[in-house]
Amino acid sequence: MTAASEALSSAGPRHIAIVMDGNGRWASKRMLPRTAGHHQGVEALRRVVTACVSRQVKVLTVFAFSSENWKRPADEVSGLMTLLAMVLAKEVPKLHKEGVRLQFVGAREYLSERVQIALLDAESHTRSNTALLLNVCFNYGGRWDIAQAAAKLAAAREPITEESLAQTLSTAHCGDPDLIIRTGGEMRLSNFLLWQAAYSELVFSDALWPDFDAQLLDDAIGAYLARERRFGLTSDQVSDAAERPS
**Pick 4 or 42: Cβ nearer ligand FPP:** 42
**Pick 165 or 217: Cβ nearer ligand FPP:** 217
Q: CA–CA separation, 189 vs 185, rounded Å?
A: 12
Give the CA-trace dihedral at 182, 183, 185, 186, to 10 degrees: -40
One residue of 64, 92, 100, 181 binding ligand FPP per CB under 6 A: 64
Q: Please report, for residues 73, 80, 94, 157, 177, the alpha-carbon distance to residue 145 in angstroms, rounded to integers and kept in the order given.
A: 25, 21, 30, 18, 15
24 part of the interface to ligand FPP, by CB under 6 A: yes
- Between CA 181 and CA 141, with CA 88 as vertex, the angle to 5 degrees is 45
Taking the complex as a whole, the smallest distance from the CB of residue 50 to ligand FPP amounts, in Å, to: 15
191 is catalytic: no
202 part of the interface to ligand FPP, by CB under 6 A: no
209 part of the interface to ligand FPP, by CB under 6 A: yes
Choose the binding region for ligand FPP from 19-27, 120-128, 139-147, 225-233 (rule: CB under 6 A). Answer: 19-27
38 part of the interface to ligand FPP, by CB under 6 A: yes
Beta bridge partners, 225, equal none
139 is catalytic: no
The catalytic residue among 23, 69, 129, 145 is 69
8 Å CB contact between 180 and 173: no
The residues carrying an active-site annotation are 21, 69
